[in-house]
């Protein structure tokens, strides 16, 4: 491991599982002190234990990132504890299918609002309170997790509030990248394809979708791994990416090459 993130304090949201856990582990292995945010205390504790067993530094923050007061308090606690916040990787979010998301004509109004709140508002809140600390530092990096479905549509993945929320993250991120560049704050986006996480369990159990993977993600013909996203995030968080901002990086096994 290169220790590209040594001396950096990095917030990772959704750190209790999936891409968030893989990224918290990777950031710690790269030398960062990780402030791990998640709403689930049990899974978050498991992530922290893995980091500590590997010799890394991390602290848990049990927080609902859709709650403005809770986010402000947790970000403030990180700053008080460490005196700096060098980066944020906003991973927390999820599918809105259980809330009523679906094709636009079937998506319920509550499903729409809940999904946007879960994916877009949550990221905005973490960015807002982290930026209040990064601005006087005149430095920082923000990475927001979008989705390939925020860039292209596909009839097999008809959750339109989810797609809108992930497209919104791209617009938000590019606007922030332009505005905060003079303050030496970088903002970039990672857009994963289908990744093997709990959120993609429906796809993993669907033989028809699995049969499409050689065409959707021709590089491997299979789902990606959380570690694939974590590796991309570690690069974007590091000083090796110091000249990169406003980028949307697909990590999609070739989906967008079609």
Distance CA 245, CA 237 (A): 11
Structure tokens that stand for 57 in this block:
């530094």
If we measure between CA atoms, which residue out of 128, 133, 145, 134 comes closest to residue 66?
A: 128
The residues, any chain, with a CB within 8 Å of residue 79's CB and separated by 6 or more, are 85, 133
Contact between 116 and 165 under an 8 Å Cβ cutoff? The reply is: yes
- The tokens for 153 are 């549509």
Q: Residues of 114-145 as b/e, b for ≥16 C-beta within 10 angstroms?
A: bbbbbbbbbbbbbbebbbebbeeeeebbbbbb
The pairing of beta strand 185-192 with beta strand 140-145: parallel
- What distance in Å separates the CA atoms of residue 203 and residue 157, rounded to the nearest whole number? 9
Return the active site residues: 162
Q: What is the distance in angstroms between the CA of the first residue and the CA of the last residue of the chain?
A: 33
């Amino acid at each position: 491991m290169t220790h590209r993130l040594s001396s950096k304090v990095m917030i990772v949201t959704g750190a209790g599982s999936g891409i968030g856990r893989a990224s918290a582990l990777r950031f710690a292995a790269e030398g960062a002190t990780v402030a791990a945010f998640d709403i689930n205390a049990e899974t978050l504790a498991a992530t922290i234990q893995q980091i500590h067993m590997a010799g890394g530094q991390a602290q848990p923050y049990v927080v609902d990132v859709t709650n403005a007061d809770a986010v402000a308090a947790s970000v403030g606690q990180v700053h008080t504890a460490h005196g700096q916040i060098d980066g944020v990787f906003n991973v927390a979010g999820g599918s809105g299918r259980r809330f009523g998301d679906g094709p636009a004509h079937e998506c319920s109004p509550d499903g729409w609002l809940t999904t946007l709140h879960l994916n877009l508002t949550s990221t905005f809140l973490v960015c807002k309170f982290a930026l209040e600390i990064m601005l006087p530092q005149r430095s920082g990096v923000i990475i927001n997790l979008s989705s390939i479905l925020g860039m292209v549509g596909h009839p097999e993945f008809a959750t339109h509030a989810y797609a809108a929320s992930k497209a919104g993250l791209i617009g938000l991120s590019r606007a922030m990248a332009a505005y905060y560049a003079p303050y030496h704050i970088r903002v970039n986006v990672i857009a994963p394809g289908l990744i093997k996480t709990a959120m993609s369990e429906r796809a993993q159990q669907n033989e028809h979708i699995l049969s499409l993977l050689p065409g959707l993600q021709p590089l491997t013909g299979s789902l990606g791994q959380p570690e694939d996203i974590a590796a991309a995030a570690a690069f974007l968080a590091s000083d090796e990416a110091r000249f990169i901002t406003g980028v949307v990086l697909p990590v999609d096994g070739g989906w967008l090459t079609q």
